[in-house]
Structure 1
Amino acid sequence: MSPMQDPNGAVVHDAIVPARAPWLHRLKAGQTLRIVDLEGNQAVDFLLYATDDDAERYSAQDTIAAQRNIFLRAGSVLRSNEGRAMMTIVATSVEYHDTIGGACSCESNTLRYGMHTKAQHACVDNFLQANLSDGRGKRDIVSNINFFMNVPVEPDGALGIVDGISAPGLTVDVRAEMDVTVVVSNCPQINNPCNGFTPTPVRMIVTA
């Protein structure tokens, strides 16, 4: 676990993302995004696209294969479907972040929690809403990162979704290695403990 520092360089963007809301922002190579879990235990679903060619986007498979680990820690490189470095986790105040839990959707909510959840807002809805401004659709939503989410692998290989490992004010810093478009869903899930059953705001600080 890396010690956290104040954001380096000039702040070029500083936004609060409300509970359950989407967020999209473009970062230039060399800029750093700090994600702040303001109230603790909030999952932040995260996608990446190359700004100049969004056919190149974050690849969970390439990232996991390159680092030979399913969890993301300080020093982990987020790789594209072309195998190139897109962003690097330069510091994190929680031990690890999830690559395999995926994004909640009305379909997965219905399957896991019952038909009464079908109309509930979900991360896939947020990704669709944010991506529309760039002309992307549902086919462009790939396997995502879940910052601050705790998805342990049980001894029998099953995945658990349990209380998060974050706390109020904890952070993760991610540096852009190329020009990237970041798309976030501040997870609205209320049926499992990934958000403590109560979604809360997060803060996004970009420095150059």
Structure 2
Amino acid sequence: MIRESALTPDTAAYRKVVPAGNYWIHTVRKGQTFRILDLEGNQAADTLFYSAADPAERYSAVDTVRAQRNVYLTVGTKLMSTEGNPMLEITADTVGRHDTLGGACATESNTVRYALEKKTMHACRDSYLLAVTENEGFGLTKRDITHNINFFMNVPVTPDGGLTFEDGLSAPGKYVEMLALMDVIVLISNCPQLNNPCNGYNPTPIEVLVWDAAA
């Protein structure tokens, strides 16, 4: 579902450009609105969510899909935790569909899917590992890297139940926006994948924006 936001960037309390291949980690407080903006188009933002009160409670793809009875995420989707609690709700979306089945790329999966020589290429799991290592204050370790959402990524389900990685649906200036329903730690890997069309074979920057509840 396409729905534009009434919020404008000039009223945001926080803004940060995340270069291609880099990570971003931040706590978004209950009542704040969080936006991921695709600056140049056709970029995938692999995102993890954790309860700031207890990071052992984190985003659950299984519970989210079951609760909404849809494998694609868009306006109205409540992102559910492993404890069955709503973490965030998608309130605005100018892309219309996001993936939560395809997972995050890793050096191992690049090797299996593409070629042995791809193992040395940077991947989202590497970004996650770097983020938790460099930001110990969030209380996360590599064991906390689990189900993620691939915002802007196009992963159609085939008639026989398989998954395919297709050209992205996003474009320059497209965004997805979420209302935090609890204090959440947000961890994004701005995907560096070069072996499939999820980034148009050309990873580009994103911007993250946060508005306070009164915005």
- Same fold at TM > 0.5: yes
Structure 1 match to 2:148: 144
Contact 2:71 2:101 in 1 (8 A): yes
User: Taking every aligned residue pair, what percent have the same amino acid on both sides?
Assistant: 53
* Equivalent in 153, 172, 180 of residue 168 of structure 1: 172
Task: Report runs of 4+ in structure 1 exceeding 3 Å deviation.
Answer: none
Contact 1:22 1:184 in 2 (8 A): yes
Structure 2 match to 1:185: 189
Instruction: Measure, in 1, the Cα distance between the counterparts of 2:59 and 2:3.
Output: 26
Tell whether 2:6 aligns with 1:2: no
> Following TM superposition, by how much is the alpha carbon of 1:6 offset from its aligned partner in structure 2, in angstroms?
4.2
Instruction: Measure, in 2, the Cα distance between the counterparts of 1:7 and 1:195.
Output: 27
Instruction: Measure, in 2, the Cα distance between the counterparts of 1:56 and 1:41.
Output: 31
> Following TM superposition, by how much is the alpha carbon of 1:2 offset from its aligned partner in structure 2, in angstroms?
3.2
Q: TM-score, normalised by structure 1?
A: 0.97
Structure 2 match to 1:204: 208
Contact 1:90 1:173 in 2 (8 A): yes
Instruction: Measure, in 2, the Cα distance between the counterparts of 1:137 and 1:124.
Output: 12
Question: 1:164 corresponds to which letter in structure 2?
Answer: G
Q: TM-score, normalised by structure 2?
A: 0.94
For residues 1-150 of structure 1, the aligned pairs below 5 Å read 1-7=1-7, 10-132=11-133, 133=135, 134-150=138-154
> Following TM superposition, by how much is the alpha carbon of 1:10 offset from its aligned partner in structure 2, in angstroms?
4.3
Contact 2:46 2:190 in 1 (8 A): yes
How many equivalent residue pairs? 208
**64-73 or 183-192, which deviates more:** 64-73
* Equivalent in 159, 163, 187 of residue 163 of structure 2: 159
TM-superposition CA deviations, 1:61-94 (whole Å, max 9, x none): 1111111111101000001000001000001001
Question: 1:59 corresponds to which letter in structure 2?
Answer: S
SS at match of 2:131: helix
SS at match of 2:72: coil
How big is the alpha-carbon RMSD for the aligned residues of Structure 1 and Structure 2?
Answer: 1.2
| Unpaired runs of at least 5, structure 2 | none
Contact 1:131 1:183 in 2 (8 A): no
Question: 1:5 corresponds to which letter in structure 2?
Answer: S
| Unpaired runs of at least 5, structure 1 | none
